[in-house]
Amino acid sequence: MIGYVTLGTNDLARGAPFYDAMAAELGTGRMSEWDGAIAWGTPGGAAGICLMRPFNGEPATAGNGVMVALEAADRAQVDRLHAAALAHGGTCEGPPGPRGAEGGFYAAYFRDLDGNKLNAFVMG
């Protein structure tokens, strides 16, 4: 149902390496670039992410309560995505680990360089 998610940035050149690292770990890359925007993903695949300067020209801000979840292949990939996020200037919002009473949800939470919240997760 979701084709892609757009996240705002105030500095596309600064933010792009962060998403290059996330996409590379997930086995994809840039699928489209134009002035002020870069989209990562695979055409016809799962939902992609587009990082762009806001169309209205106002500063980008992170949405309170908004988060993009990246589905990982396994727990080790969750760990690698979290590590890559931090290595590329992201900040930790919750280290990798089991969540919930059953422990069937394993996730890590982080923010990009503009403060947008993401997580990497796997079920089971």
Which amino acid belongs to residue 13? Answer: A
Q: Is the residue at 79 inside a domain?
A: yes
68: tokens are 């993009």
Q: Is the residue at 11 inside a domain?
A: yes
How far from each other are the two terminal CA atoms of the chain, in whole angstroms? 23
Rounded average pLDDT over 3-10: 94
CA of 78: how far to CAs of 10, 13, 83, in Å?
A: 27, 25, 9
| Per-residue confidence (pLDDT) for residue 102, from 0 to 100 | 76
Q: Is the residue at 49 inside a domain?
A: yes
Residue numbers of the domain that contains 79: 4-55+67-123
- Is the pLDDT reported for residue 1 higher than 80? no
Number of domains within the chain: 1
Q: Give the domain CATH number at 83.
A: 3.10.180.10
pLDDT in tens, 63-81: 989 999 999 999 999 999 9
CA of 44: how far to CAs of 27, 41, 47, in Å?
A: 14, 9, 9
pLDDT in tens, 78-114: 999 999 999 999 999 999 999 987 778 999 999 999 9
Q: Coil, helix or strand for 30?
A: strand
Phi-psi bin for 69: left (phi > 0), alpha (psi -120 to 50), beta?
A: beta
Q: Is the residue at 62 inside a domain?
A: no
- % of the chain at pLDDT higher than 90: 89
Q: Is the residue at 61 inside a domain?
A: no
The residues that bridge with 112 in the sheet, in sequence order, are none
| Per-residue confidence (pLDDT) for residue 70, from 0 to 100 | 96
